[in-house]
Each structure stands twice: as structure tokens, then as C-alpha cells.
Amino acid sequence: MAESKRVLLASPRGYCAGVDRAVETVERALDKHGAPVYVRKEIVHNRHVVDTLTDRGAVFVGETDEVPEGAIVVFSAHGVSPEVHRTAAQRSLKTIDATCPLVTKVHQEAKRFARDDYDIVLIGHEGHEEVEGTAGEAPEHIQLVDGPDAVDQVQVRDPERVVWLSQTTLSVDETMQTVHRLREKFPLLNDPPSDDICYATQNRQVAVKAMAPRCDLVIVVGSQNSSNSVRLVEVALQNGAKASHLVDYAREIDLAWLDGVTTVGLTSGASVPEVLVRGVIDLLAEHGFNDVETVTTAEETLTFALPRELRPARN
Ligand code: SF4
């Protein structure tokens, strides 16, 4: 008898506390102030979220100089440099900061180590908004390292005063390889005071690692510019999945991917609403994958309070 086709559904997956807060920030700002509400950069890196908020009256801009003087602008979950705050103030913009508190934590670490005159090696992806925001806290102290091979170029003033920090959404394993190379070069390298790769990124990677060896195919729902979603595809492939693909929507699934497949793993990045995962489950069911088993590796309960400007007034 042929083996039954099944779906392994990773848990946790999808929205993290920082994304939930950032999306709700824009929704509440629209409720409170009406459209348009300007948002600097994509509030979170997800096409569906950005399109849905655009339909409600959010206007996404690349920089604050595109926002009319005096208007409301929301800063995205990825954080901004002090320079962005300064230019917004010059234009008298009313800012609402939806930076994830776990990104703010990395900014605080960068400021502290810069104040103590350390050289800071920031592990992260060149050009990513979060990295630009963090590096902007102390540009004269921070150098970016984009993976283990970039370590050779790192130069510091004093090898006894070096610390590494990281983007929140990296691959844990690849980051540890980079740190290992850095430590070979600078044996007195200091570690961050606590993990910079956030709980949500880590939890989603652990869940994928647990199911990947059983999967012929892992589908990750997420956008191409979502760092943590792209990492999930890599983690799946590195941990035994025979194939893995990133899709924004179920309709992007190429049915040829399902040829000869018995077990499909399914997960989603931290910026992905669950409705998009449901769409993939429905499509897979139409093709005989009716048996859905959840693979749970952690329970998540963290939530973050909304930015002060949007919290209900106390009586
Ligand atoms: S992925 Fe992590 S750092 Fe980014 S918004 Fe979510 S909780 Fe915050």
C-alpha cells in the first residue's frame, strides 16, 4: 500500500511578538488618526501585510523626506538610526516608533560598547534595514561582517577590546561559524551580554531542524526580503530536507515540486500572517496531503506593549 501523504506543520511559526506589535501599531494609528498614515520602509518584510495596510490607507515611503511636513510617520519593526530621528524632527514629523524591543536592545548594546570605546563587529547582512539602523548608533565603532568569509578583512585597534553583536534574524549556526572565525583571530573577543538573534528566529529554526530530516520538501511561507524566512529555507536544506522553497502565497507553489513527495514540511517566517499558511494547507489537501501533524518544539507567550502614543489612556 502506498504511504499516505502528509504535512508536518512546524510550531512555532509565523508572527512573532515584534511583528504583531508593529502591524497593530499601523492599524491603531489608522484607527486613531485616519488615513493617510506614513510608514518609513516596509513595516515588516511581508508583501501581504504591506498590501493589506496599503489598502487601509498606509503610505509606505523609502525615507522621511517623502513625508509631508508635520504628518504622522511610523518607523518599522527593523529600527532606525539616530540620523533618521533627527531628520524626522527637522521636518516636524509626528513619529511613532514600532521598532521591535529586541532590536532596540541591540541598539542599546551598541551604544554602550561604543561609549566604552570597544571595536564592535556587527554580524549581519549588508544593506538590511536593521543593520543600517544598528550601525548608525555608532558608525565610527562598528564594522559589518556578512558571514565567516568576511572575517579576514576585519581590523581592530585593540584586540583586547573587541565585541561581536548581530542582526536579530540570522542563522544561528552560520553566526556561530562567524564567531568561531572571529575568535580564532581575536582570542579575547567579547560576547554580547545576551543573545542578539531573537527568540522567534531561534525557535522557528529549531522547529524546522526537528522536522527537516523527515521531509521530502519543506515549504516556507515568507517574502524574499524577509531575512528570517530565507534562513528557514537554508536551515531546512542543511538539516536533511530534500528540497525547500520560499513562497509568498499558495498560488506560487509549482505543482511539479510535489511529484514523488510523501511528506511536506510547512512553516512560515516571523512576519507571515497565519491565513497564508492556511492557504498552503488547503492547496496541499487538494493534492492528497490530508494528514496534518504538528511538530512542536517550543511554546511562545511573549507579547510587547504598543508604543506609548497608541496605548489606551488611563482613567
Ligand atoms: S523577528 Fe525577532 S527581532 Fe524581529 S520583530 Fe520578531 S521578535 Fe523582534
Do 211 and 279 lie in one domain? The reply is: yes
Task: Find out whether the beta carbon of 131 lies less than 6 Å from any atom of ligand 1.
Answer: no
> Ligand 1 centre from 187 Cα, in Å?
30
Q: Do residues 115 and 169 share a domain?
A: yes
In a domain, 291, yes or no: yes
| Same domain? 190 vs 236 | no
Same domain, yes or no, for 134 and 212?
A: no
| pLDDT at site 312 | 78
Of the listed 130, 137, 252, 299, which one is catalytic?
130
- Candidate of 41, 78, 100 to mutate for ligand 1, largest count of ligand atoms within 8 Å of Cβ: 100
**pLDDT confidence tier of residue 314, bands split at 50, 70 and 90:** low
* Per-residue cell: 266: 510547512
In a domain, 48, yes or no: yes
Q: Clarify whether residues 135 and 181 are in a common domain.
A: yes
| Residue 115 maps to a domain | yes
- Helices in 136-198 by DSSP H: which ranges? 172-185
- Identify whether residues 189 and 205 lie together within a single domain: no
Contact 40, 76 (CB under 8 A): yes
Asked, for residue 117, whether it belongs to a domain, the answer is yes
CATH classification of the domain holding 69: 3.40.50.11270
Domain endpoint, select from 33, 67, 99: 99
Residues in the chain: 315
Task: Mark whether 173 and 220 lie in a shared domain.
Answer: no
What pLDDT sits at residue 315?
56
Q: Which atom of ligand 1 is nearest to the CA of 44?
A: 5
Cβ–ligand 1 contact at 14 (below 6 Å) = no
In a domain, 312, yes or no: no
Query: Is 239 part of any known ligand binding site?
Result: no
Confirm or deny that 45 is annotated as ligand binding: yes
Q: Are 123 and 144 part of one and the same domain? A: yes
Nearest CA to ligand 1 atom 2: 198
The enclosing H or E element of 9 equals strand 6-11
Q: Average pLDDT, stretch 98-127? A: 98
CA separation (Å) from 75 to 16, 22, 210, 265, 268? 18, 9, 35, 34, 24
| Active site annotation includes 109 | no
* 101 Cα nearest atom in ligand 1: 8
Q: Residue 3: which pLDDT band, with cuts at 50, 70 and 90?
A: confident
Last residue of a domain, one of 150, 177, 196: 196
Q: Is 89 in the same domain as 133?
A: no
- Closest residue by Cα to atom 7, ligand 1, is 18
Residue 104: which pLDDT band, with cuts at 50, 70 and 90?
Answer: very high
Mean pLDDT of the chain: 97
Return the CATH number at 277.
Answer: 3.40.1010.20
Shared domain check, 144 and 121: yes
DSSP per-residue string spanning 37-85:
EEEES-SSS-HHHHHHHHHHTEEEESSGGGSPTT-EEEEPTT---HHHH
Last residue of a domain, one of 74, 99, 124: 99
Number of domains in the chain: 3
Q: Is residue 136 part of a domain?
A: yes
Asked if residue 307 belongs to a domain, the reply is: no
One domain for residues 11 and 21 = no
pLDDT at 18 over 80: yes
- pLDDT, tens digit, for every residue of 280-306? 999 999 999 999 999 999 999 999 999
The answer to whether the annotation marks 215 as part of a ligand binding site is: no
Residue 93 shares a structural domain with residue 107: no
Centre of ligand 1 from the C-alpha of residue 102, in Å: 6
Residue 249 belongs to domain spanning: 6-15+199-296
